[in-house]
Amino acid sequence: MLSSLHLNPTLNYATLNYSATLLPLRGSRRRTRRNGANESLVSTAHPARQYPSLSASLAPAREVEERKEEALLPPHLRPESLPRHVAVIMDGNSRWAKARGLPSSAGHEAGYRTLKKMVELSCQWGIRALTVFAFSSENWTRPKMEVDFLMTLFENVLKEGLGEFVREGIRICIIGDSSELPQSLQKLAKEVVDKTKNNTQIDLIVAISYSGRKEITQACQNIAQKVKDGLLEPEDITESHIEEELETNCIPEFPNPDLLIRTSGELRLSNFLLWQSAYTELFFTNTYWPDFGEADYIEALTSFQNRQRRFGQRIN
Amino acid sequence: MDLACEKTWVWIPLPQKFQSPIILKLILGFCWYLLHLMVNLRHMGSSVNDLLFCYIISMGLLLKHQNLRLDKLNSLAVVVDSEEAKNTTKIKQLLCWLSSIGIKYVILYDMHGVLKQTIGTDLESLTNTSMTTCSVVDAKMATSLFHFEKMAIEIISLSDGKEGVAKAASFLYSEHMKDDSEICYRSEPDFTESDVANALKATGSAGAEPDLLLVYGPARCHLGFPAWRLRYTEIVHMGRLRSMKFAAIVKTMHDFSKKHQNYGK
């Protein structure tokens, strides 16, 4: 454990005071695992062995990576108190554009840039899953021009972003009623999901043509089919069976978001993750989505962290 | 190096960022803490502002908060943390406040069914004579729906939420098999949202969709309130039940009356 850090201006190196029993030394691999009960990182270091000297270049690669992640985290955010899964309702693109005298398409494009930044920050800070509400089933009633623009935008994003997703280790899942999407977008979405399925850095779930009620309905339908196939008895149906059939189970480790952020000042879920948000911390901000930046994200994470610290245990 | 010492000094090359001058580091650190202080002051100012506002509202000094327009508020839900729900005095006080404001339909929810056992029992004894005037279709709902003065109160818990949907799924299957055998061929289940809504009604887990939901408790989440009923519900976290204020409720109602929902359009 690092107890103090001293700067040595002469040699330009840092000297580290440490207890010999706690610092993992060369040859031992520090592993950390999440404790399911209290979600803290628990160190399972091997018993230390004495070595006469150690330099950072010889430290285990994983420890270097962890130090990098912690160094990238804003100072007052603690990695052990961060949400594992963040959901976002990206609201306010059109209002942002209208406030600037721009067409709504400009708002959606700006919104996409904000999303890119948020994915980047989430990767840097160790958020494991990000679910974003890109297009709801109710959005189909919007003007055709806007809907067509959004479908084109989604296609371009997936097409141009595929290389980056693969490079950055982003695993893409698309949830929602894909049958309503243009054929070209359906095909592209399938391709992107397939090509990124082995990525492990972060899971990015994009909800397109999504409805929380429709998702629950589909789950009931799937369960009825399972009963018909003899895999389940009707009297044995429980809420966990429903949960297994929800689309967010594409990330089985943490399908339910810990934190849900909605921008633009609205205080509702709007048919998004109705089932999954039972114990999700809700954070509403007046900022429009294109203006949602690093500072706003930090504020949301700090709010989540403060609640966790104050009440001692995770809600999930 | 003295290996016998408990502490050992180790030379490790600094990452690049630590090689900048110490003074620059101090200045950056000072700027960071100054920013932190400003944010904290802002939040403190906001809290003081809210307290002042609540005081002004409770003194009736703001005309716009005196005549609330509740035509958009057909039903109001109140989610209470189960630990805090044991404070029946506060719950009854809250119900009185809501009745005085003019709320017509209140849905009380807590996860573990504490409100059903405490408030439910009290209300049943108070309103037994008025229950005959309730026009409830579902017998199951009658046990948790009360009329208190001019306000209907529905009391639910987790068993009416997620467990209710599981029962609805079972009901849907039974109905599908009934239809299937009548048609005499094995069709795949094809349910719609209306089917699920009807199944929830048939199994006693249906109810009004609240326009506004007030959350009392430490956590800012809806704690498993029936998911099916939350589609367009405004959710407002009110803080702890023990710190509840009448003025805060009035302010929330006033803010709600100004809301405009476009339902995704």
| Answer CATH for B74-257 from 3.30.1330.80, 1.10.1040.10, 3.40.50.2300, 3.40.1180.10 | 3.40.1180.10
- CB contacts of A270 in chain B (<8 Å) are 231-232, 264
Three-class DSSP category at A262:
strand
CA distance A33 to A39: 9
Nearest Cα residue in chain A from B36: A76
**Which of A56, A120, A129, A70 has its CA nearest to residue A294?**
A120
Instruction: Give the number of other Cβ atoms within 10 Å of residue B30's Cβ.
Output: 10
Burial of A255 per CB tally in 10 Å (0-12, 13-18, 19+): buried
Question: Which pLDDT belongs to residue A214?
Answer: 96
pLDDT single digits (tens) B155-184: 999 989 999 999 999 999 998 888 666 555
Question: Which pLDDT belongs to residue B57?
Answer: 65
Indicate the domain borders of chain B.
2-58, 74-257
**Which of A140, A137, A205, A146 has its CA nearest to residue A177?**
A137
Structure tokens at A234: 């009707």
**Pairing relationship of beta strands B76-80 and A202-210 according to DSSP bridges:** unpaired
Strand partners, A262: A89, A284
* Helix extents (H) in chain A: 61-72, 93-99, 104-125, 144-168, 183-195, 212-228, 239-245, 294-311
Q: Nearest CB to B173: which of A20, A234, A315?
A: A234
Question: Which pLDDT belongs to residue B50?
Answer: 72
Question: Which pLDDT belongs to residue B59?
Answer: 62
pTM: 0.76
Contact B232, A268 (CB under 8 A): yes
CA distance B108 to A287: 31
Question: Which pLDDT belongs to residue A22?
Answer: 33
- CB contacts of B9 in chain A (<8 Å) are 15-17
Three-class DSSP category at A311:
helix
The CA distances from residue A313 to A38, A148, A307, in Å, are 6, 45, 9
Mean local confidence (pLDDT), B185-199: 87
Residue A48 near chain B (CB below 8 Å): no
CA distance B154 to B251: 24
- Please give the single-letter amino acid code of residue A97: A
pLDDT single digits (tens) B203-258: 989 999 999 999 999 989 999 999 999 999 999 999 999 999 999 999 999 899 88
Instruction: Give the number of other Cβ atoms within 10 Å of residue B163's Cβ.
Output: 18
CA distance A49 to A52: 10
Mean local confidence (pLDDT), B56-73: 65
Question: Which pLDDT belongs to residue B85?
Answer: 93
How far off is chain A from B36, nearest CA to CA, in Å? 10
Question: Which pLDDT belongs to residue A24?
Answer: 33
Q: What is the H or E stretch that residue B51 is in?
A: helix B22-58
Q: Is the pLDDT of residue B64 over 70?
A: no
Residue A138 near chain B (CB below 8 Å): yes
Task: Please list the ranges in chain A whose pLDDT falls under 70.
Answer: 1-71, 308-316
Strand order through the sheet with A13-19: A2-8, A13-19, B7-13
CA distance A138 to A200: 32
CA distance B233 to B209: 7
Task: Give the distance between the most distant pair of CA atoms in chain A.
Answer: 77
Nearest Cα residue in chain B from A278: B224
* Contacts within 8 Å (CB) and 24+ apart, B181-190: B186/A228, B188/A225, B189/A221, B189/A224, B189/A225, B189/A228, B190/A221
How far off is chain B from A233, nearest CA to CA, in Å? 9
Q: Which of A295-299, A304-308, B49-53, B69-73 has the lowest mean pLDDT?
A: B49-53
What is the DSSP code string of A24-56?
Answer: --TT----EEE-TTT--EEE-PPPP---S---G
Domains and CATH numbers, chain A: 19-31+61-67+82-209+248-303 (3.40.1180.10)
pLDDT single digits (tens) B75-130: 999 999 999 999 999 999 999 999 888 899 999 999 999 999 888 776 665 554 44
Contact assignment for A278 to B219 by CB distance below 8 Å: no
